[in-house]
Structure 1
Amino acid sequence: MNDLAITALLLVSLFLILGSGVWIGLALSGVAWIGMQVFSSRPAGDAMAVTIWGTASSWTLTALPLFIWMGEILFRTRVSQDMFRGLAPWMQSLPGRLLHTNVAGCTLFAAVSGSSAATCATIGKMSLPELARRGYPETMALGSLAGAGTLGLLIPPSIIMIVYGVSADVSISRLFIAGVIPGVVLALIFSGYIALWSWRHPGLVPPADAPMPWRERWAASRGLVPVMLLIAGVLGSIYSGIATATEAASLGVVGSLLISAAQGSLNWPTFRDSLLGGTRLYCMIALILAGAAFLTLSMGYIGLPRHLAEWIGGMQLSPLALLAALTLFYIVLGCFLDGISMVVLTMGVVLPTIQKAGIDLLWFGIFIVIVVEMAQVTPPVGFNLFVLQGMTGRGIGYIARATFPFFLLMVLMLVLLYLFPQMVSFLPTQMRG
């Protein structure tokens, strides 16, 4: 049986298993077992046991549940309220006024979260009611929040970066630091669009509040201090070389618990809920990672990644054409799968192709994160769209249309990333340790 027939058989098996309602991690393991049992001489059961144990016991993965737990703790605090009150006085003089609080708030919370959906939900639960009360257009409020919420994946710490780092054997600390400049640039692009939109539609922007004295502005900004200190502790410890990603994650958990305790929101129910929420999410991700690792091993024995890389290499595609094709591929894939599943399902095949094309894996990690960000706002499986649908009751189509301009801005960010790869490489080259 040739490679095309084997690939078709495995794809049909995958979609049949997924369509039956089986969890993604188990579906990946099932397809891997079929591939290895039918097309390889190695015993599938032994390979599955060794691979899943090796993936589950990876020390690199220990940072993942800690960062997830940190985000779950902060989600149950008053951080979003404090951030809105602290940011609002400084946004009144900008074109677009308080619409910028969505972007600035998501940028700050992304630096202590790691999850796009959590960032969107945390900032949205405070900003959306306030923006609606003040008369801001709902489409811009929803679009800017859905778009800026994706920064939770790009600005470190990022769950998807940890998943990619494990899958591609790339330093997670270097990935974290590499995402800082692109994340800030994307946030500035979002704010620039809001300013341009408000300049073109001045009648849709409510008037500014009464001017606030500088002393009151600084007093209102005190609520930002705990989050800023947590960001400095987590990212500063990684950048300076004092801590690894796992150690920084531990520091982040302790810091988030201290913030929660200082705000009076730390009690047994919130502690238990945050721990259970983090455990459930990590177990889901770990199962997907284990299934993907077994699938990668299975495809390696069959030889599909090598043959696919050779086939694509024979097409003589330029790096730009290859990246454009991968962008379209991931956008389409994002219509049906979540970001983590997209990464772990495809890395075994895509990485050999990327390496053959001479593309830096650190740069490609940031590229893939931005593409996954785009998938967060594409229906029907756009997690940020689901979050906003639950918060507002609006339909997925309505929210997707409101978010479309920010989707195009992420496409622009991909172009800038290709033209200026130094955005990714600069900070990692300055790292100590």
Structure 2
Amino acid sequence: MISDPLILSIVIVFVMFVFLLSSIWIGVSLILTGIVAMLIFDSQLPPMISIYDKIGDLLASSMYDSLNSWSLAALPMFILMGEILYKSSISTKLLNGLMPWLNFIPGKLLHINVAACSLFAAVSGSSAATTATVGKITLDELEKRGYSKSLALGSLAGSGTLGFLIPPSLIMIIYGVLSDVSIGKLFMAGILPGLMLATLYSFYIMIVSKIDKSVVPTDENEYVLKDFIKSLEELFPILSLITVVLGSIYGGIATPTEAASLGVLGSIILAIYFKSFSLEVFKNALLNTMKTSVMISFIIVGAGFLSQVIGFLGIARAISEYIGTLGLTPMMLILIIGIMYIFLGMILDGISIVVMTLPIVLPIIVLAGFDPLWFGIFLVFMVELSQITPPVGFSLFVIQSISGERIEYILKATLPFFILMIVAVVLITYFPQIVHFLPNYMIK
């Protein structure tokens, strides 16, 4: 029996990593970790109350509380919208429409990954869907035209993570549900940091293309007015869908869940209009949506149970009090937490990082004086970093399956964009107004 919450927290982290490294499902690992924590803790319950009864009560209540949220209904809807866009030809039209507009910028079509991922992220909400969709269309095309494969792969890896930052975002929905922060405000808060990160990527591509002329082919197609007009016809459907989904949220017309439903309806209408919709496409989109939604829901249930156990055992309070005695400045605290998240990103996927750490980290962050809304965007950045950190960087695996390149080559190509993402984290930490500007402006 262990009664010291600090020692118990160390044991819990160790047990959790043992379960996760044993290839057990993440949701099951979180539930088992909570059960083990309850069993080894001297809870001093009255003799008539069985510890097993208490575990059962906590598990049942956490399952209900974790999933009994109307906001969570937006999750499968946004996933379905992204799947329909991915399965139909709409995503291809997005890429074709961007090509003429990027031809005159230094780096030319190397910017297409950044621009396409930014736009697709605004209707997908999924980093994996963004990376896979854009990568399948751009990588072969860029290689055929003679562009640097390393820069193309790196920009895709970095830009693909924008699916978590530029709203609507699955991670933001999960964070909002677990932290009781307005999902609408989180969506607004993510726009400027997302655009800032995309701009940093584009500036880097421009600088490299100016220094090394070999990354861009000397002969390139010239586009005339007719091509620009045609490109607008290709871009208009996606831009319209983005306007409907995000505009309805920011204009106060619809909740994120209602906007997600509009997005699904809009994606179906566009797919039918472009004659790329079929029952087979819809069936596959529904099946993939069900698989992804159930997987995420199971993880949320496990995290909810572990969160209740941590609250019951007083671990979060004990850790908060202990960190308070260390005399860390707020910036030193956020640095340590950032390093912790980068380390976790090497072995866990983004959703798991959020649901596993939030019950412990959020109380500490609030105690240190940080705003939960700001921390939500900070956490999304950390999740983005986890997508491109080995050995469990999911985006790296997606790109490897698309390109057929060795993982070492992809890692080397991704490193500059990884560093740029850290630069963006530093900027929002020292200038939190970047995060707060739009939510405060829209409220006024």
Give TM class, smaller chain.
over 0.9
Partner of 1:146: 157
Query: Are 1:263 and 2:265 counterparts?
Result: no
Correspondent of 1:97 among 95, 99, 108? 108
Q: Deviations over 1:282-315 (max 9, x none)?
A: 1111000010011011011111111111111111
In the other structure, the counterpart of 2:48 is none
SS of residue paired to 1:241: coil
Q: Normalised by the size of structure 2, how large is the TM-score?
A: 0.95
**Counterpart position of 1:55:** 66
- Unaligned runs of 5+ residues in structure 1 are none
For the Cα contact (< 8 Å) 2:126–2:169, is it kept in 1?
yes
Q: How has the CA–CA distance of structure 1 residues 170 and 208 changed in structure 2, closer, same or farther, with 3 Å as cutoff?
A: farther
1:234 aligned residue (234, 245, 248):
245
- Does 2:321 match 1:310? yes
How far is 1:280 from its partner? 0.4
The 8 Å contact of residues 105 and 123 in structure 1, kept in 2 or not, is answered as yes
Relative to structure 2, which stretch is displaced further, 56-65 or 129-138?
56-65
Q: CA deviation at 1:14?
A: 1.8
Q: Deviations over 1:147-197 (max 9, x none)?
A: 000100000000011111111110111100110111111111100000000
Q: 1:44 aligns with which of 55, 58, 82?
A: 55
Unaligned runs of 5+ in 2: 46-50
Q: Map residues 357-368 of structure 1 onto 2, 5 A cutoff.
A: 357-368=368-379
SS of equivalent residue, structure 1 residue 111 = helix
- 1:20 is displaced (CA, Å) by 3.0
Which residue of 2 is the match for residue 64 of structure 1? Answer: 75
Secondary structure of the residue aligned to 1:431 is helix
Alignment-mate amino acid for residue 237 of structure 2: P
Q: What secondary structure sits across from 1:330 in the alignment?
A: helix
TM-score, structure 1 length as denominator? 0.97
2:22 is matched with 20
**In the alignment, which residue of structure 2 is the partner of 1:387?**
398
Change (3 A) 1:348 1:414: same
Q: Partner amino acid for 1:9?
A: V
Q: Residues 321-342 of structure 1: CA distance to partner in whole angstroms, max 9, x if unpaired?
A: 1111111100000000000000
Cα shift at 1:80? 2.8
- Of residues 129, 146, 166, the one that matches 2:140 is 129
Pair 1:134–1:243, CA change in 2 (3 A): same
2:230 is aligned to: 219
Letter aligned with residue 339 of structure 1: G
Q: Which of 289, 309, 323 is the matching residue for 2:334? A: 323
Maintained 8 Å contact 2:345/2:389: yes
Structure 2 residue corresponding to 1:30, chosen from 29, 32, 35 = 32
Counterpart-to-counterpart distance in 2, 1:247 and 1:364: 26
- 1:208 Cα deviation (Å)? 4.7
Residue of 267, 278, 283 corresponding to 1:272: 283
CA contact (8 A) 1:93 1:208 kept: no
Determine the C-alpha separation between the residues in 2 that align with 1:63 and 1:432.
22
Deviation, 1:430, is: 2.7
Per the TM alignment, residue 64 of structure 1 is displaced from its structure 2 partner at its CA by 0.7
Aligned-residue sequence identity (percent) comes to 48
In 2, the alpha carbon distance for the partners of 1:203 and 1:67 equals 40
Question: How far apart are the structure 2 equivalents of 1:266 and 1:254?
Answer: 12
Asked if 1:10 corresponds to 2:12, the answer is: yes
Per-residue CA deviations over 1:92-113 (Å, capped at 9, x if unaligned) read: 1111010001100000000000
Letter in 2 for 1:283: V
> How much has 1:432 moved relative to structure 2?
5.3
**What is the deviation of 1:403?**
0.4
Q: State whether residues 36 and 301 of structure 1, in contact with CA within 8 Å, keep that contact through their aligned partners in structure 2.
A: no
Q: 2:298 aligns with which of 287, 299, 308?
A: 287
Q: Is the 1:85–1:221 contact (alpha carbons within 8 Å) kept by the matching residues of 2? A: no
Cα contact 1:241–1:432 (8 A) shared by 2:
no
CA RMSD of aligned residues (A): 1.3
Dislocated runs of 4+, deviation >6 Å: none
Aligned to 1:27, the other structure's residue is in SS state helix
The code of the aligned residue for 2:30 comes to L
Displacement of 1:15 = 2.6
Q: 1:288, 1:210 → 2: CA distance?
A: 48
Q: Give the counterpart letter for 1:141 in structure 2.
A: A
SS of corresponding position for 1:184: helix
- From 323, 329, 335, the counterpart of 2:346: 335
